[in-house]
């Protein structure tokens, strides 16, 4: 187990060298994007968010708060630009892509509380709001939904957790995969987890590891969830466990396991356009239904 100093040093290095490199076919270049930038006040300072506007926007248009991945240490919200354009165009929602603060400069719970404050801001004036993300962004979305449950609001119409890390207590070496060389390597626990939450005891917090042991108790009333896992992903098991806990309290909208692929398939270059778009269509459908006028009346 490396020291916190070493973990922080590696995390800072990765932050500078890890850049989004999407294959051309995964950029959805044919979908135009109309964006603006807003500064959202939070308890940890102002957070910059890129807002993607649908072709038709009214006062009743729903909002999707999007949280990028990156192990809680890499800050590249622009890697989700194709997804944000796709969702705005196909679900008819305003997408708020959040540039939350990352470790090691800003450790837990800074990003969680920033995201919760952005969701609260997005839900002003009674707007129907969804929150979602992939990888670390999915973990933050789960935490925001839990805080909304415990604080009796804001109301969240849907949480989308795509290949999310939901158990930082268990080391990646103890999370099996059905392939010989899964994308997630054990050293990632030694860097990302330590940089984000240096104290092992704190990794047991329900907002860090919602799928660990009894942390998934007490979920009754939480926002409905779309949980997406990947067949070859080391994080698949914790995603399934959390989906089962959500289902037990009637809060699982759907669990979808993307076949024959691994973590980050839609941004890391090995996914196909067809595979990615099938998942995006599924998510957009859930978001559209959750933010529709019919859902609002319900």
> Per-residue pLDDT for 296 more than 60?
no
- What does the pLDDT read at residue 298? 42
**Per-residue pLDDT reduced to its tens digit, 217-232:** 999 999 999 999 999 9
Report helix, strand and coil shares of the chain as percent, to nearest 5. Answer: 40, 15, 45
* Chain centre to alpha carbon of residue 266: 13
Instruction: Report the pLDDT averaged over residues 138-154.
Output: 98
Lowest mean pLDDT among 13-17, 25-29, 289-293: 13-17
Confidence at 19, pLDDT banded by 50, 70, 90: confident
Instruction: Please give the mean pLDDT across all residues of the chain.
Output: 94
> Per-residue pLDDT for 268 more than 50?
yes
Q: Going by C-beta distance under 8 Å and a sequence separation of 6 or more, which residues neighbour residue 244?
A: none
- What does the pLDDT read at residue 84? 98
Contact 20, 71 (CB under 8 A): no
End-to-end CA distance of the chain: 50
State pTM to two decimals: 0.96
Lowest mean pLDDT among 27-31, 47-51, 266-270: 266-270
**Per-residue pLDDT reduced to its tens digit, 49-68:** 999 999 999 999 999 999 99
Order of strands across the sheet that contains 34-42: 34-42, 45-53, 94-98, 63-67, 129-134, 158-162, 225-230, 252-258
Torsion on CA atoms 19, 23, 24, 25, rounded to nearest 10: -140
> Per-residue pLDDT for 191 more than 60?
yes
Instruction: Report the pLDDT averaged over residues 67-80.
Output: 95
């Amino acid at each position: 187990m490396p020291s916190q100093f070493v973990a922080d040093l590696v995390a800072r290095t990765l932050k500078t060298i890890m850049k989004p490199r999407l294959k051309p076919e995964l950029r959805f270049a044919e979908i135009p994007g109309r964006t603006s930038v807003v500064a959202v006040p939070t308890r940890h300072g102002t957070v910059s968010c890129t807002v993607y506007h649908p072709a038709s926007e009214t006062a009743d248009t729903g909002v999707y708060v999007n949280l990028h991945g990156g192990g809680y240490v890499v800050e590249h919200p622009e890697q989700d630009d194709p997804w944000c354009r796709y969702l705005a165009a196909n679900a008819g929602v305003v997408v708020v892509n959040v540039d939350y603060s990352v470790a090691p400069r800003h450790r837990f719970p800074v990003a969680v509380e920033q995201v919760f404050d952005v969701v609260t801001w997005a839900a002003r004036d009674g707007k129907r709001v969804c929150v979602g993300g992939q990888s670390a962004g999915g973990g933050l979305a789960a935490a925001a939904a839990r805080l909304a449950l415990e604080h009796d609001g804001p109301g969240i119409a849907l949480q989308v957790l795509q290949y999310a890390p939901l158990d930082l207590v268990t080391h990646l070496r103890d999370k099996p995969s059905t392939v010989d060389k899964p994308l997630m390597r054990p050293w990632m626990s030694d860097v990302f987890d330590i940089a984000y939450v240096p104290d092992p005891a704190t990794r047991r917090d329900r907002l860090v590891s919602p799928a660990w042991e009894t942390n998934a108790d007490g979920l009754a009333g939480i926002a409905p969830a779309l949980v997406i896992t990947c067949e070859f992903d080391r994080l698949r098991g914790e995603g399934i466990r959390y989906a089962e806990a959500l289902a037990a309290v009637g809060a699982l909208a759907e669990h979808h396991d993307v076949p024959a692929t691994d973590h980050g398939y839609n941004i890391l270059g090995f996914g196909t356009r067809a595979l990615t778009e099938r998942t995006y269509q599924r998510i957009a459908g859930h978001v559209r239904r959750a933010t529709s006028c019919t859902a609002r009346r319900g």
